[in-house]
Chains A and B, each alone.
Chain A
Amino acid sequence: AQSVTQLDSHVSVSEGTPVLLRCNYSSSYSPSLFWYVQHPNKGLQLLLKYTSAATLVKGINGFEAEFKKSETSFHLTKPSAHMSDAAEYFCVVSDRQGGKLIFGQGTELSVKP
């Protein structure tokens, strides 16, 4: 069975400093992994996805994530936070058998001026 754990429910950074949102996954199969972002009172938007190509995945708005099989991790990073990055971020796993998406609990990112 697949599962995903986001290690922080809330992360607070200052504008211009790096962002790190942590995600560990469990999967019986070679997984597809995603990060979605949800701005307040909005739907979810895909930030980036890993599907067994390059282990370092670049997404929109300067975000990237690295797939580390040995650590079963898929942490999301950004070199310099912007005020507009304040949102909730979800790490998601989907198994290659064509199953459903399994969402993590979410990490709320706050960005201080």
Chain B
Amino acid sequence: NAGVTQTPKFQVLKTGQSMTLQCAQDMNHEYMSWYRQDPGMGLRLIHYSVGAGITDQGEVPNGYNVSRSTTEDFPLRLLSAAPSQTSVYFCASSYSNPRGGPTDTQYFGPGTRLTVL
């Protein structure tokens, strides 16, 4: 198993550009999520999905879109990048608990380091 994979590892964008951060998992996990990590703030939840076709907003969703057309993939789209979106982005996955949230153990990808100039 490859686990959770993310591409690209690094990306530099100019303000106003768009791009998609890719995330894939091969563990058949229902629950997938995106976090951003900023110094001194820990990880903050951007969007999450409890299964194919179902997504919802997390703590900091503004400026980001997601979709979940398959169980394996959960891309994160920046429609018009802003310098405030400079961060490290982590994708995570887990099985879903009966209430639709993540189970105790989430598996994290290696991260994408994004710089917006």
Contacts and interface: CB of A to CB of B under 8 A. Distances in A.
Interface of A: 9, 32, 34, 36, 41-46, 49, 51, 90, 94, 97-101, 103-106
Contact of A101 (B40, B41, B100, B102): B102
Nearest to B9: A41
B66 to A, nearest CB: 14
Contact of A98 (B40, B42, B98): B98
A67 B112 CA distance: 33
Interface string B1-39: 000100000000000000000000000000001010000
A99 B48 CA distance: 11
Contact of B42 (A32, A43, A49, A90): A90
B104 A49 contact: yes
B40 A43 contact: no
Contacts of A97: 99, 101
Interface residues of B, number: 27
A51 B102 CA distance: 13
Given A105-B40, A105-B41, A106-B42, A100 B33 contact: yes
A98 B43 contact: no
Contacts of A99: 101
Given A43-B90, A43-B108, A43-B109, A94 B102 contact: yes
Contacts, number: 57
A51 B100 contact: no
B111 A43 contact: yes
Nearest to B3: A43
B45 A101 contact: yes
A103 B108 contact: no
Given A44-B108, A45-B108, A98-B97, 14 more contacts: A43-B108, A44-B90, A46-B105, A49-B105, A90-B43, A94-B101, A98-B99, A99-B101, A100-B48, A101-B43, A103-B35, A103-B43, A105-B41, A106-B40
Contacts of B111: 41-43
A22 to B, nearest CB: 15
